[in-house]
Structure 1
Amino acid sequence: MNKITRRTAVAALLAASSVGAFAHNKINLGVSIPTATHSFAAGIVFWANEAKKELEAKYPDIKVTVKTAANPAEQANQLQDFMTVTKINTLVVFPFESGPLTKPVEQIHSKGVYVTVVDRGLTNPSGQDAYVAGDNTAFGKIPAEYIAKQLGGKGEVVALRGIASTLDNERMDAFNAVMKNYPGIKVLDAKYGNWNRDDAFKVMQDYLTRFKHIDAVWAADDDMSVGVLKAIDQAKRTDIKLVFGGAGAKGSIKTLMDGSDPRIQANVSYSPKFMYDAIKMTAEARLKGEKLPANNIVPSVLITKEKAKDFYFPDSPF
Structure 2
Amino acid sequence: MPETTSRRGLLFGAAAAVTAGGLLTACTSNEPKGAKPAANDKPADDKPGKHVTIGFAGPQADHGWLNAINDNAKERAKKYSDITLEATEGSNDTAAQIGQVETLINKKVDVLVILPADGKALTQVGLKAMRAGIPVVNLDRIFNTPQAYRCWIGGDNYGMGLSAGNYIGEKLKGKKNARVVELAGLDNLELTKQRSQGFDDALKNYPNIRKVARQAAEFTVESGQQKMSQLLQAQKNFDALWNHDDDQGVGALRAIKQAGRNDFLMVGGAGALSAFQAIEADDSVLKATVLYPPTMAASAIDLARALGQGKGVSGMAEFEIPAHVTLFSAVVDKDNVAQYMPTGFK
What TM-score, normalized to structure 1? 0.74
1:124 to 145, 167, 181: 145
Q: Cα offset for 1:106? A: 3.7
Matched, 1:269 2:282: no
Q: Is the 8 A contact 2:217 2:248 kept in 1?
A: no
**What is the 5 A alignment of 1:20-99?**
27-55=52-80, 58-59=81-82, 62-84=84-106, 86-99=107-120
Q: Deviations over 1:46-67 (max 9, x none)?
A: 1111133334xx127x453343
Deviation larger for 236-245 or 136-145: 236-245
Q: Deviations over 1:88-114 (max 9, x none)?
A: 442111233444444443444344331
1:249 to 272, 297, 307: 272
Corresponding residue for residue 144 of structure 1? 165
2:222 to 198, 218, 221: 198
Corresponding residue for residue 279 of structure 1? 301
Q: Cα offset for 1:163? A: 8.9
Determine the C-alpha separation between the residues in 2 that align with 1:274 and 1:133: 6
Q: Secondary structure at the match of 1:286?
A: helix
Corresponding residue for residue 159 of structure 1? 183
User: Structure 2 counterpart of 1:68, which letter?
Assistant: G
Q: Deviations over 1:111-153 (max 9, x none)?
A: 4331111223334333211012244443221111122344446
Q: Cα offset for 1:289? A: 7.2
Determine the C-alpha separation between the residues in 2 that align with 1:265 and 1:63: 38
Corresponding residue for residue 172 of structure 1? 196
1:301 to 330, 333, 344: 330
CA gap of 1:31–1:220, structure 2 versus 1, over 3 A, is: same
Determine the C-alpha separation between the residues in 1 that align with 2:73 and 2:243: 26
Show structure 1 runs of 5+ residues with no match: 1-24
Q: Cα offset for 1:72? A: 4.4
Q: Cα offset for 1:255? A: 1.5
Deviation larger for 284-293 or 27-36: 284-293
1:220 to 227, 244, 250: 244
Corresponding residue for residue 19 of structure 1? none
Corresponding residue for residue 321 of structure 2? 292
Q: Is the 8 A contact 2:159 2:195 kept in 1?
A: yes
CA gap of 1:164–1:214, structure 2 versus 1, over 3 A, is: farther
Q: Cα offset for 1:283? A: 2.0
User: Structure 2 counterpart of 1:229, which letter?
Assistant: L
Determine the C-alpha separation between the residues in 1 that align with 2:145 and 2:237: 38
User: Structure 2 counterpart of 1:65, which letter?
Assistant: A
Determine the C-alpha separation between the residues in 1 that align with 2:225 and 2:96: 26
User: Structure 1 counterpart of 2:249, which letter?
Assistant: S
Show structure 2 runs of 5+ residues with no match: 1-49, 313-319
Q: Secondary structure at the match of 2:183?
A: strand
What TM-score, normalized to structure 2? 0.69
CA gap of 1:172–1:102, structure 2 versus 1, over 3 A, is: farther
CA gap of 1:131–1:115, structure 2 versus 1, over 3 A, is: same
Higher CA-based Rg: 1
2:253 to 229, 232, 254: 229
Question: What is the root-mean-square deviation in Å for CA atoms of aligned residues?
Answer: 3.3
Q: Deviations over 1:153-173 (max 9, x none)?
A: 631412322696665554333
User: Structure 2 counterpart of 1:67, which letter?
Assistant: E
CA gap of 1:201–1:267, structure 2 versus 1, over 3 A, is: same
Normalized per residue, which structure has more helix? 1
Q: Is the 8 A contact 1:123 1:166 kept in 2?
A: no
Q: How many residues align?
A: 285
Determine the C-alpha separation between the residues in 2 that align with 1:176 and 1:102: 32
